[in-house]
Amino acid sequence: MNETAQPAGTLARLRRYPVKGMSGEDLDESFVTFAGLVGDRVYAFLDPEGNADFPWMTARVWTEMILMKPRFLSAPSAQQQIPGGADYRIEVTTPDGQEFDVAAPELRAHLEKKFGRAIAMRFSERSMMDARPISLLSTQSIGALSKEVGIPLDLRRFRPNFIVDWAHGTPRHEDFLIGRTIRIGDTAAFVIAKKDGRCKVITLDPDTAQPAPQVLEVVARNHANCLGVYAVVLREGIVRRGDPVFVD
């Protein structure tokens, strides 16, 4: 199938997660560097004496972390390829309404109480990802999985950066693009690198943190524990919600 002449789909939503493990935000546009979306997962908390393979403190350990809401006080704009330090200031609101500067010792103390262990905070302009700079999932894949599980699934469970609406409406079409290049916007290009292996976080309701174990059970049983794909950045550039997605 020749997908180069016409768009293969549309970038339906664009999301980033300023603090790893906390809730995310929808964007109208973003500059994408080789490290990922500017401002995505630039802060993270970790167990300095924990598992070296996955040291991050996320909802895998304390489920209610996904209910904490970070926001940039002066968000980096899509035109800023290299934001300044002030552009990375973040305020975090807890589920009970407390507000903390992300770098404040009071927030770390609050999280240490919840996690039940000492933690450390890290900042990096290069996004602190689990596997690859970009995660992509389609609306069709979410819809199909909702039918398999038997409950409507909010895409926020799966914490993607790019949510694509495929023109031909085929669920899990992204699985067949491993090794292919996609283009979004005027310059940005990406190589689809691998399928996205899933963990318990997808079982958690993004608004309540209540678990639905059957979500991961179905993904593990029917889809080899994978949903969506990871991508690496081939060319940097601005991407916008509503941009056509081309497959080369």
Give the start-end residues of each E strand in 94-219. 99-101, 120-123, 134-138, 162-166, 181-184, 188-197
∠ CA 67-40-178, rounded to 5°: 105
Look up the pTM and report it.
Answer: 0.93
- Residues 191-242 have pLDDT tens digits of 999 999 999 999 999 999 999 999 999 999 999 999 999 999 999 999 999 9
**Interatomic CA distance for residues 134 and 35, integer angstroms:** 8
Q: 87: pLDDT confidence band, cut at 50, 70 and 90?
A: confident
Domain positions in the chain are 9-247
Between residues 46 and 81, the one the model is more confident about? 46
pLDDT value for 1:
42
Q: Does residue 129 surpass a pLDDT of 50?
A: yes
9-247: CATH number = 2.40.33.20
Q: Does residue 4 surpass a pLDDT of 70?
A: no
Distance between first and last Cα of the chain: 11
CB 178 within 8 A of CB 223: no
Place of tokens 């996955």: 54
Q: What single-letter amino acid sits at 58?
A: T
Mean pLDDT within 51-76: 90
pLDDT value for 48:
87
Q: 164: pLDDT confidence band, cut at 50, 70 and 90?
A: very high
Mean pLDDT within 41-59: 87
